[in-house]
């Protein structure tokens, strides 16, 4: 417990920074760069092993929090291999929990389009009202508005455009609501994996195929 090693990310990811993304973490793969440091200045051979885990983004810290779940090693010199579940996490080069990344908010562009569509809808409604050329007449049954027959096509055009812009704005808003910010972490980032719980790592012998099977 408490052992650690330097790692390099083999895969990058866009880690979702929404509450619902914590239940669906993004998978990551990393390489362990050196042997693990243990208490008492002891070392354990883990260099060149691969590790896997999953992570999610956190907006408040602008970091991706990655939990480590599995490790896999092959030692070609001794013909031994290791594959085991582990429980750990990754810290950045500054020693803080999580890998710092770039915050990307993709919903902003959609909201801007929705605003423009809403503006166009309002302009179309005003234009349709102006194009009606309605005349009011007082009769025994009240006030009657009549529309200039020559303006019917123009009014219909503006009204249809306004309705189309309204639908478009609604679609943009619905799409924006389904999106969430992400923390971008590229491949190649360096960090440190810290093992939280003690785990017995058992190496097993394996057979390495030196030659490909002959054809024919």
Judge if 125 and 201 occupy the same domain. Answer: no
In the predicted model, is pLDDT for residue 19 greater than 50? yes
Q: Answer whether 86's CB lies under 8 Å from 71's CB.
A: yes
| Alpha-carbon span 82 to 71, nearest angstrom | 8
Judge if 124 and 143 occupy the same domain. Answer: yes
Judge if 15 and 118 occupy the same domain. Answer: no
Is residue 215 domain-resident? Answer: no
Q: Which of 23-27, 63-67, 138-142 has the lowest mean pLDDT?
A: 138-142
Is residue 216 domain-resident? Answer: no
Q: Please tell me which of 13-22, 102-111, 183-192 the model is most confident about, judged by mean pLDDT.
A: 183-192
**How much of the chain is helix, strand and coil, in % rounded to 5?**
30, 40, 30
Can you give the length of the chain in residues? 216
Judge if 41 and 126 occupy the same domain. Answer: no
Judge if 196 and 114 occupy the same domain. Answer: no
| Residue 181: per-residue pLDDT | 82
Is residue 199 domain-resident? Answer: yes
Judge if 137 and 167 occupy the same domain. Answer: yes
| Residue 216: per-residue pLDDT | 44
Judge if 33 and 92 occupy the same domain. Answer: yes
| Alpha-carbon span 166 to 170, nearest angstrom | 6
Scan for tokens 């030659």, then name that residue.
211
Judge if 70 and 137 occupy the same domain. Answer: no
**What domain range includes position 24?**
4-104+182-205
- CATH number, domain at 90? 2.40.128.260
Q: Answer whether 54's CB lies under 8 Å from 66's CB.
A: yes
| Alpha-carbon span 194 to 81, nearest angstrom | 21
pLDDT tens digits, 80-127: 899 999 999 999 999 999 999 998 876 455 445 555 555 555 555 555
| Alpha-carbon span 5 to 121, nearest angstrom | 59
Judge if 9 and 83 occupy the same domain. Answer: yes
Angle (CA) 18 22 26, round 5°: 100
Q: Quick one: which of 90, 77, 85 has its CA closest to 33?
A: 90
Judge if 112 and 100 occupy the same domain. Answer: no
Task: Report which DSSP code applies to 21.
Answer: G
Q: What are phi and psi of 150, to 5 degrees?
A: -70, -15
Number of domains in the chain: 2
Q: Answer whether 62's CB lies under 8 Å from 42's CB.
A: no
| Residue 211: per-residue pLDDT | 46
Q: Answer whether 185's CB lies under 8 Å from 15's CB.
A: yes
Judge if 73 and 9 occupy the same domain. Answer: yes
């Amino acid at each position: 417990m408490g052992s650690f090693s330097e790692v390099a990310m083999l895969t990058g990811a866009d880690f979702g920074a929404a509450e619902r993304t914590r239940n669906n973490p993004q998978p990551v793969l990393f390489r362990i760069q050196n042997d693990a440091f243990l208490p008492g200045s002891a070392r354990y051979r883990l260099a060149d092993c691969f590790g896997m885990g999953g992570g999610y983004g956190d907006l408040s810290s602008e970091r991706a929090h990655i939990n480590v779940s599995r490790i896999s090693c092959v030692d070609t010199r001794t013909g031994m291999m290791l594959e085991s579940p582990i429980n750990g996490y990754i810290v950045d080069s500054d020693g803080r929990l999580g890998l710092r990344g770039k915050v990307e908010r993709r919903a902003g562009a959609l909201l801007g389009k929705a605003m423009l569509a809403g503006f166009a809808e309002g302009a179309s409604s005003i234009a349709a009202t102006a194009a009606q050329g309605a005349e009011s007449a007082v009769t025994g049954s009240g006030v009657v508005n009549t529309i200039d027959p020559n303006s019917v096509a123009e009014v219909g055009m503006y009204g249809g455009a306004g309705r189309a812009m309204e639908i478009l704005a609604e679609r943009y808003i619905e799409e924006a609501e389904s999106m969430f910010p992400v923390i971008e972490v590229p491949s190649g980032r360096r960090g440190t994996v810290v093992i939280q719980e003690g785990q017995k790592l058992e190496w097993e012998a394996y057979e390495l195929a030196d030659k490909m099977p002959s054809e024919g």
